[in-house]
Amino acid sequence: MIQGYLKTLDGSPGVYRMLNAKGEVLYVGKARNLRARVTNYARPSGHSGRIAKMIFETTSMMFLTTRTETEALLLEQNLIKQLKPRYNVLLRDDKSFPNILIAKDHTFPQIKKHRGKKSEKGSYFGPFASAGAVARTLNQLQKVFLLRNCTDSMFDGRTRPCLQFQIKRCSAPCVAKITPEAYGTLVADAERFLQGKTTDVQANLATEMSKASDEMEFERAAALRDRIKALTHIQSSQGINPAGVAEADVVALHMDQGQACVQVFFIRANQSWGNRDFYPKTAGAEAPEIMEAFLAQFYDDKEPPRLVLLSHPVENEDLVQQLLSDRAGRRVEIAVPLRGEKAELMENAARNARESLARRLSESSTQNKLLEGLAEAFDLDAPPKRIEVYDNAHIQGSNAVGGMIVAGPEGFLKSQYRKFNIKSAAGANSDDFGMMKEVLTRRFERLIKEDPERKSDMWPDLLLIDGGAGQVSAVQSILSELGVEDVAMIGVAKGLDRDAGKEEFHRTGQRPMALKMNDPVLYFVQRLRDEAHRWANGAHVAKRAKAVSLTPLDDIPGIGAGRKKALLAHFGSAKAVSRAAVPDLMAVTGISESMAKTISDFFAGRS
């Protein structure tokens, strides 16, 4: 069958897809020369076990030619991300990385964490490996450079210094404790530090301290001394600070037992800004293919640094280097270091990858034993691969939210957690049965619509419901109405006195049961239930906090966040806005005569 396609192919670069009898895409690949690549697949022998199995399952192929080889690589990775073929290497964690932003849209710039598109005016520094790494760095920077972290609205509303000034983490520009020129110097110093020019910053601070001491300004000299100490602490606690590598990502791969860990260290401004580990689905691929797929997918929505250091070479180094250079808009170099400081960085990253994978394999083994124990305890056909746990949260029906968490052989799958804002009257009526019905109906109706043939791994094997026999019966009737009859379900109800450890488990058509107090499966179910409870409560708290900040201004057509902010800053409250005359409203920046009349008419209609 594959041989037959050779008649229609030439030596153009492009992308091919291999499909099985059901039309499912098994593999997406690129080729510098489509005819040559397909010729390799047409050979009867000489393939690895993975490729041989893939060829055996293939019943048809699809082809797309491209103008260049780089276009083929880009198209290949886009299709892999979209189709998630079984035999391709897949990067399963595509979260964005946070940056530090010094915003430049204010006389006194704010320093803060930023994630996402860099649309705000200012200086960006990053990426950092995690929000925690950014928080720690910001905490240290505030001690040294005394930059504000408050929002503009909070800044505009201050009449006296806040606690940050009292604990010497802000220079209080909000109440003119510092001039714009002096604050600008602090901003410049912070930017130089984040650019790696720490020696210059420290030398300047030492000079200022000496000058203040000579002029007998001892209080100012002591403050500068404290800032120098804080700066020294930052430098000593950063760990890896390579002198010869100003900007690089250090990418190390370790493989064991058919699984892989990729460890990425972020080096910016000669400083380590943290590391993150990834566990791509390898599908039995070798190291060069895994590394190439990882780089192409990892930098899909991230700007590559000038240098990417690798533990293993990639299959098509020139193509990957060209792809990353195109995405960065400048030259990006890929290298496998063999000696010197770069090799030491790689050795450290490789060790972390090895240790991280060993921990994951150990945790995976424990998780699999728990899933096997769960199947045995509740007479399931097999250990569940996907468990969905549901819970509701509200206060007397207000701000009702439903939560769903997901767990499986790899532990909690947080990227697949979901929140459901309760839209029906069940929320206002504090009807837990009604809320659960709404959540499950929405969840499974969407699942049936998107994947009626259950080809994806998004269908649960087991549902855990917070509740007893009544909840289980209600959920069973909901699923029956939707035609879902083969998903196992367990209701988890607190026992006597609602003590943890005395839980009763309810299943359709069976008597309630309990597990022994020291049973690991019991602890496992408790962790699942508690995680669902935490997730639903967090969603409820966030919704309640948002509701508290709402004002009547949110209901006025044409009033967005900017105009709302300007009105509140000018008048002090929504109530004062409601009493304002049209000429007074027009005095607010961004409020035209027609908008002022709209606001006035809106409040007149409510009185």
The rounded distance, in Å, linking the Cα atoms of 357 and 87 is: 21
Residue 376 — pLDDT band, cuts 50, 70, 90?
Answer: very high
Q: Return the number of other C-beta atoms located less than 10 Å from residue 72's C-beta.
A: 25
pLDDT at 236: 55
Residue 9, SS3 per DSSP: coil
Q: What does the pLDDT read at residue 489?
A: 92
Residues 194-219 have pLDDT tens digits of 887 766 677 777 787 888 787 787 77
End-to-end CA distance of the chain: 77
The pLDDT-based confidence of 240 (bands split at 50, 70, 90) is low
What pLDDT sits at residue 88? Answer: 94
Helix (H) or strand (E) holding 122: strand 122-125
The predicted-structure confidence for 267-320, as pLDDT tens digits, reads as follows 988 888 889 999 999 988 999 999 999 999 999 888 899 999 999 999 889 999
Handedness of CA 130, 135, 136, 137 (dihedral sign): positive
Q: What is the reported pLDDT for 293?
A: 94
Rounded distance between C-alpha atoms, residue 182 and residue 233, angstroms = 24
pLDDT of residue 230: 66
Q: What is the pLDDT of residue 172?
A: 93
pLDDT at 256: 92
Among the listed residues 93, 95, 99, 89, the one whose alpha carbon sits nearest the alpha carbon of residue 122: 99
Residue 224 confidence class, pLDDT cut points 50, 70, 90: confident
pLDDT the model gives residue 393: 85
DSSP 557: T
H or E element at residue 367:
helix 340-377
- Whether the per-residue pLDDT at 395 is higher than 90: the answer is no
What does the alpha-carbon distance between residue 286 and residue 289 come to, in Å, rounded to a whole number? 6
Angle at 424 between CA 421 and CA 426, to 5 degrees: 100
Asked if pLDDT for residue 348 goes beyond 80, the answer is yes
pLDDT in tens, 506-524: 998 888 898 988 889 999 9
C-alpha 392/C-alpha 402 separation (Å) is 4
In contact, 277 and 356? CB cutoff 8 Å: yes
pLDDT of amino acid 491 = 92
Close Cβ partners of 227 (under 8 Å, ≥ 6 residues apart): 143, 144, 145, 146, 205
* pLDDT at position 525: 92
Separation of alpha carbons 2 and 39, rounded Å? 8
Judge if the upstream peptide bond of residue 127 is cis by omega within 30 degrees of 0. Answer: yes
Question: What's the number of CA atoms in the CB half-sphere (13 Å) around residue 93?
Answer: 14
pLDDT of residue 342: 94
pLDDT band at 495; cut points 50, 70, 90? low
CA 151: distance to chain centroid? 23
**3-state secondary structure labels for all residues of 421-446:** ECCCHHHHCCCHHHHHHHHHHHHHHH
Note the residue count of the chain.
607
What's the mean pLDDT when you consider all of the chain? 87
Burial class (CB in 10 A: 0-12, 13-18, 19+), 33: middle
Report how far residue 215's alpha carbon sits from residue 218's, in angstroms, rounded to the nearest whole number: 8
Buried b (16+ CB within 10 A) or exposed e, 430-461: ebbbbbbbbbbeebbeebeeeeeeeeeeebbb
Q: Quick check: 99 pLDDT over 60?
A: yes
> pTM for the full model?
0.74
Record the tokens describing residue 488, joined without a space. 């196992």
Block residue for tokens 């206060």? 395
Asked whether the beta carbons of 455 and 19 are under 8 A apart, the reply is no
SS (H, E, C) 289-355: HHHHHHHHHHCCCCCCCCEEEECCCCCCHHHHHHHHHHHHCCCCEEECCCCHHHHHHHHHHHHHHHH
User: Tokens 């039309």 map to which residue?
Assistant: 23
Q: What mean pLDDT is predicted for residues 123-149?
A: 86
List of residues 6+ apart from 479 with CB closer than 8 A: 440, 444, 485, 487, 489
pLDDT at 262 > cutoff 70? yes
Can you tell me whether residue 602 is helix, strand or coil?
helix
Helix-helix angle 180-194:131-145, to 10 degrees:
140
What pLDDT score was predicted for residue 246?
87
Q: Per-residue pLDDT for 135 more than 90?
A: no
Question: Hey, which residues does 395 pair with through a beta bridge?
Answer: 398
Q: What pLDDT is recorded for position 95?
A: 72
Tens-place pLDDT, residues 6-56? 888 899 999 999 999 989 999 999 999 999 999 999 988 888 889 999 999
DSSP summary character for residue 553: G
Q: What is the mean pLDDT of residues 155-167?
A: 88
In degrees rounded to 5, what are phi and psi of residue 257?
55, 40
d(CA 444, CA 459): 9
**Whether residue 504 has pLDDT greater than 80:** yes
Q: Which domains does the chain have, with CATH numbers?
A: 2-83 (3.40.1440.10), 99-237 (no CATH), 247-358 (3.30.420.340), 387-547 (3.30.420.340), 552-606 (1.10.150.20)
Quote the pLDDT of residue 234. Answer: 59
Q: Which residues contact 109 (CB under 8 A, 6 or more apart)?
A: 102, 103, 122, 147, 187
Q: What is the mean pLDDT of residues 184-197?
A: 85
* Comparison of pLDDT for 111 and 541, the residue scoring more: 111
Place of tokens 């490996």: 129
Chain centroid to CA 332: 25
- C-alpha R_g of the chain: 30
